[in-house]
Structure 1
Amino acid sequence: MAGNQPDADPRPGDRDRELDIVVYGATGFVGRLVAAHLARSAPEKTRIALAGRSRPRLETVRSGLGERAGDWPLLVAEADDREALERIAGAAHVVLTTVGPYGKYGKELVAACARAGTDYADLCGEVLFVRDCIDAHHGQARATGARIVNACGFDSVPSDLGVHLLHERARAEDAGELAEVTLVLTALRGGFSGGTIDSLRHQIDVMKRDPAARRLAAHPYALSPDRSAEPRLGRQSDLARIPAREVSPALRGTLAPFVMAPFNTRVVRRSNALLGHAYGSGLRYREAMSVGTSPLSPLLAAGVQAGLGALTAGLALPPTRWALDRLLPKPGDGPGEKLRREGHFTADFFARTTTGARLTARVRAQGDPGYAATAVMLGEAALALALDRAALPPTPGGVLTPATALGDALVTRLRAAGMTLTTGAASGRA
C-alpha cells in the first residue's frame, strides 16, 4: 500500500493469546455462515471460538459445523456485558462480529477490543456507528495496536479494494493520481437483508432525535479524519441518476442510484485520507447501479431513485413504518440455500487519472452478496488479521478500513477463495 504510511505494526511477535479468532454472533444467520466458512477454509491449527448470548444455541451451531469444529470453545456474553466482552477480547487475536445494528449492540465490544489491543472486524454499514468508533477509539487503538476494521462484507470490501487496486495500477502505469472513479454494479442477484433494514431503522431513529447526527450522516466526508482538509468538489450526490456515457464510452442507458453508496463512498474517502490522499488529492468517487441499456432505463433509474427515497421516508414516519415493518424482512431472516448459492454480484470500476488515462477494475463473486459472499469476505478478513501479519499494510492500528488495514493480504485471500479482483491496463487518454 503506497502513500504516507506510519510505522510498522508494534505487535508482530504477539502470538501468546489463547485464540486466533472469535466469531461473535455465531448463532445469527450471517454468523452461522461465517462460522461454516471458517470451518471449511481456515488452516487446520487455527484456534477458533464461537461466541454469543446462548450456550445451547452455540452448541447447536457447533454441532452442525462438522468434525473440524468439534472442539471449538464456546463463549457466552451479552452485547452489553462489559466484563464478559473484555474476557473475550483479552483471549483472542481477532474478534469478528455480525451482531447489529452496531449502533445499538456493538459499542461495548469494539471498546473492549480497542482497550485490549485486539483486532476487530465487523459488517457495519452505519455511518454514525463508524464515526462514533473513530471519535471514541481511534487514539486508543493506535496506542494498543488494535486494528479496528469496519465494513468487511459486501459493504464495503468490493468498493474499498476496487479503488485500492486502481490506485496500484495507476502507479504501475505511471498514470498519475486517480481523478474520478465510478463503481457500477453491473450484475446483482441476491436476497434483501433483514439486518440491513434494521440498521437503517436504527440510524433513521438516531437522526430523527439528533439534527447534528443527520447533518453528519449527509456529509460526503463524514468518516474522514479531518473534513476541513478534504477537497472542495461541489455537490456530491450519492443517490443520483447518472448518464452511463458520462462514466464510460462503453456504457449505455441511465445508471440508477446504488442503495449502499451513501456508506461505501465515505469508507473509500476515509481510506484515501488515511493514506495522505495517495489515491488522489482531488479524487471524486461515486457509485451507481445498472438497470439495463433499453430506452426504458431512464424510467427504471428514476423508479429506483424514488423507491429509495420512499423507503427512507416511510421508515421515518410512524404510520408507514408500522406497515413496512410487517412487509420488510426481519432481523435474522435470510434467503434459502438455493438463492445463497446461485446469487452473485459484479462491480465494475471506471477511472480517469490526472494524466487523462482511463483504467478499469472488476470485483466479482459467486454467492448471495449480503450472505454467502459476505461470509467469505468477513471470514477471510479475520484470517488475514490473525494469520497474515507480515503481509498486512504497516500501521500502528486505529479505526481503519479494509483497504488500509488489510490491503493486498485480503486481495490475495479473496482471490484464493474464488472471487475475481482484476484491473485493466491504461487504454489511452480521455
Structure 2
Amino acid sequence: MSASDREYDIVLYGATGFVGKLTALYLASAAGNARIALAGRSADRLLAVRETLPETAQSWPLITADASDPSSLAAMAASTRVVISTVGPYLRYGLPLVAACAAAGTDYTDLTGEPLFIRRAIDEYHKQAVDTGARIVHSCGFDSIPSDLTVFALYRQAERDGAGELGDTNFVVRRFAGGMSGGTIASMTELAREAAEDPESRRLLNDPYTLSPDRGAEPELGGQPDARWRRGRDIAPELDGYWVGAFAMSVPNTRIVRRSNALLEYAYGRRFEYAEQMSLGKSPLAPLAAAMTTGGNIAAIELGSRFLNRVPRSALERILPKPGTGPSEQTRESGHYTVETYTTTSSGARYVARMSQQGDPGYKATSVLLGESALALALDRDKLSDLLGVLTPASAMGDALLARFPAAGVSLDVTTLA
C-alpha cells in the first residue's frame, strides 16, 4: 500500500500523555481536513481525551496499540502516512515503533532528546527506511527544532546572498520561561543510566559527531565543544556586556545540527563549527553563573551516571516527576522563549537568526512544533527534501517548516549584521 492510499494522514501515538493531549488539541485547531486518529494503550483513556477536544475532533478514530505488541504497531504504521510518537523515554519504549514505520514506509516524528536512541535508530533502521521510502524524523519539539531550523535559515539566507559557507555559529538562549517535563527528566535519567552501564554509550555521548552518517568523513575542528563559558562579545558585538554558559540541552541539539550538515552534503560548510549557550545576564554574578552552568553541564553525564548506577530504578521512579505529567494551564500559557543564532560566513558576512514562541517551551511550544512537523510530512510533500531514512528536522523538511511557522505563531527571521 502506497502512502497516498493510507487510511489516515496522521496517527498520534501517546495521545493520552501530557504532551500527547496538547498535540491533539493543537492538531484539532490547525489540521484542517487532515485525517487524524488517536492511538495509545487504553481505549477508555483515548475516548476520555477525545471528549476534551473541540467538535472538529469528535469523530477522530481511536486505535489501540502498545509498544509491547509489535503486531499492533505494525498495523497502526501501515494505516497512516505519518506517525507522531510522544511515548518516552525513547530508549526504553521507542525502537519498536521506529521499526514498524521503517518496515511500512511510514513517515515518523517524535520529540526525543536522546542521542543514544537516535544512534540506534540510525544503525538499525536507516537503510530499511531508505529502501521503503520512510522519513524517520527525530527531535521535532523544543529539542531540537529551534537549534536546527535557525541554522538552516542562516544557511538559506547566506546562500541567497552568495555570502559563502557558515563558519563559527553559536546558538544563544536569550529568554526562557518554563519548566522541565517529567518526560524530559525521565529521558535524561535513562541516558545517564545507559552511560553508567556501557562504556561505548559514554564514548558516544562525548563524541560531538555521535549522529554522523559517516564519522570518518567529519572534519576535525579542535574538539567541537558543545557549549562554552565566555563573554557574549566573544560570540557577537551585539552581546557585549553579557556572559553566557552552557545550555542544558546542548548535547542532543548540537549533534542534530551537525547531522543535518552532513546529510545535506555539508551545505553549511566543511569548517562549520557549532555550539550552544544560554545568556546569563550582565550582573556581577553572571560570570560565576556562567562558569557553574558550563561546569555542571560537562559533569552531568559522568557524575550522574555514577550516582544512577547505585540507585535502583524503582527508587528513582518514586521521587522523580513522572512522564506524562506537566504544569498548570496558566504556567503553560505564560511560558515563552527567544533564541538567537549568530554566524560568520567564509566571506566575513555576519547574520543572526531569531526564533521565538509564546508558551512553555517543553509543553505548549513543543506541541505546536511537533504538530506542524507532522502536518508538513503529511501534507507538504512537494516541499520536503528528497532524503529518506533517519533524518533531522532541517534535512527532511526545513523549507516546509519555515513556510509553516508564521501561521503557527512561530517567529523566525534572519538579520544581516554590520
Tell me how far 1:311 sits from its aligned partner. Answer: 5.3
8 Å Cα contact 1:26/1:32 also seen in 2: yes
The RMSD of aligned alpha carbons is: 1.8
Tell me how far 1:356 sits from its aligned partner. Answer: 1.1
Alignment of 1:224 with 2:196, yes or no, is: no
2:369 matched residue in structure 1: 377
Tell me how far 1:295 sits from its aligned partner. Answer: 2.2
2:334 matched residue in structure 1: 342
Tell me how far 1:315 sits from its aligned partner. Answer: 5.8
Tell me how far 1:37 sits from its aligned partner. Answer: 0.3
Give the direction of change, closer, same or farther, for the CA distance of 1:201–1:230 in structure 2 (3 Å limit). same
One-letter identity of the residue aligned with 1:132: R
Alignment of 1:200 with 2:184, yes or no, is: no
1:8 matched residue in structure 2: none
1:421 matched residue in structure 2: 412
8 Å Cα contact 1:253/1:295 also seen in 2: no
- CA deviation digits over 1:63-102, x for unaligned, max 9? 0002111111111111121100000000000000000011
1:7 matched residue in structure 2: none
8 Å Cα contact 1:183/1:349 also seen in 2: yes
Which residues of structure 1 form unaligned runs of 5+? 1-10
8 Å Cα contact 2:139/2:393 also seen in 1: yes
Alignment of 1:20 with 2:9, yes or no, is: yes
One-letter identity of the residue aligned with 1:264: N
1:386 matched residue in structure 2: 378
Tell me how far 1:238 sits from its aligned partner. Answer: 1.9
Cα distance in structure 2, aligned partners of 1:328 and 1:255: 29
**TM-score (norm: length of structure 2):** 0.95
- CA deviation digits over 1:44-78, x for unaligned, max 9? x2110000011110000000002111111111111
8 Å Cα contact 1:315/1:321 also seen in 2: no
Q: Please state whether the residue corresponding to 1:317 is helix, strand or coil.
A: helix
Q: Please state whether the residue corresponding to 1:237 is helix, strand or coil.
A: coil
Alignment of 1:52 with 2:43, yes or no, is: no
Cα distance in structure 2, aligned partners of 1:320 and 1:188: 33
1:270 matched residue in structure 2: 259
- CA deviation digits over 1:324-349, x for unaligned, max 9? 76664332221110110010000101
Tell me how far 1:181 sits from its aligned partner. Answer: 0.6
Cα distance in structure 2, aligned partners of 1:95 and 1:363: 26
1:269-308 equivalences under 5 Å are 269-308=258-297
Q: Please state whether the residue corresponding to 1:359 is helix, strand or coil.
A: strand
8 Å Cα contact 1:151/1:401 also seen in 2: yes
Q: Greater shift after overlay, 235-244 or 172-181?
A: 235-244
Cα distance in structure 1, aligned partners of 2:188 and 2:300: 10
One-letter identity of the residue aligned with 1:148: I
Q: Please state whether the residue corresponding to 2:284 is helix, strand or coil.
A: coil
Q: Please state whether the residue corresponding to 2:237 is helix, strand or coil.
A: coil
2:95 matched residue in structure 1: 107
Give the direction of change, closer, same or farther, for the CA distance of 1:407–1:314 in structure 2 (3 Å limit). closer
Alignment of 1:175 with 2:163, yes or no, is: yes
The count of corresponding residues between Structure 1 and Structure 2 is 414
One-letter identity of the residue aligned with 1:38: L
Give the direction of change, closer, same or farther, for the CA distance of 1:239–1:279 in structure 2 (3 Å limit). closer
2:228 matched residue in structure 1: 240
Alignment of 1:83 with 2:71, yes or no, is: yes
2:307 matched residue in structure 1: 317
Alignment of 1:139 with 2:110, yes or no, is: no
One-letter identity of the residue aligned with 1:23: L
Which residues of structure 2 form unaligned runs of 5+? none
- CA deviation digits over 1:19-53, x for unaligned, max 9? 1100000000000000000011111x211000001
Q: Please state whether the residue corresponding to 1:406 is helix, strand or coil.
A: helix
8 Å Cα contact 2:193/2:309 also seen in 1: no
User: 2:401 pairs with 385, 410, 416, which one?
Assistant: 410
Tell me how far 1:235 sits from its aligned partner. Answer: 2.1
One-letter identity of the residue aligned with 1:340: R
Cα distance in structure 2, aligned partners of 1:355 and 1:335: 46
Quote the sequence identity (%). Answer: 52
Give the direction of change, closer, same or farther, for the CA distance of 1:301–1:277 in structure 2 (3 Å limit). same
Give the direction of change, closer, same or farther, for the CA distance of 1:149–1:174 in structure 2 (3 Å limit). same
1:129 matched residue in structure 2: 117
Cα distance in structure 1, aligned partners of 2:220 and 2:164: 20
One-letter identity of the residue aligned with 2:156: E
One-letter identity of the residue aligned with 1:242: R
1:95 matched residue in structure 2: 83
Cα distance in structure 1, aligned partners of 2:337 and 2:180: 13
User: 1:63 pairs with 28, 51, 56, which one?
Assistant: 51
Tell me how far 1:317 sits from its aligned partner. Answer: 1.0
- CA deviation digits over 1:212-252, x for unaligned, max 9? 11101110001011111111111222243122111001112
Alignment of 1:255 with 2:247, yes or no, is: no
Give the direction of change, closer, same or farther, for the CA distance of 1:393–1:329 in structure 2 (3 Å limit). same
Cα distance in structure 2, aligned partners of 1:366 and 1:149: 24
Alignment of 1:398 with 2:398, yes or no, is: no
2:358 matched residue in structure 1: 366
Q: Please state whether the residue corresponding to 1:15 is helix, strand or coil.
A: helix
8 Å Cα contact 1:348/1:363 also seen in 2: yes
Tell me how far 1:308 sits from its aligned partner. Answer: 4.0
- CA deviation digits over 1:189-234, x for unaligned, max 9? 0011111110111111111111011101110001011111111111
Give the direction of change, closer, same or farther, for the CA distance of 1:294–1:336 in structure 2 (3 Å limit). same
Cα distance in structure 1, aligned partners of 2:337 and 2:107: 28
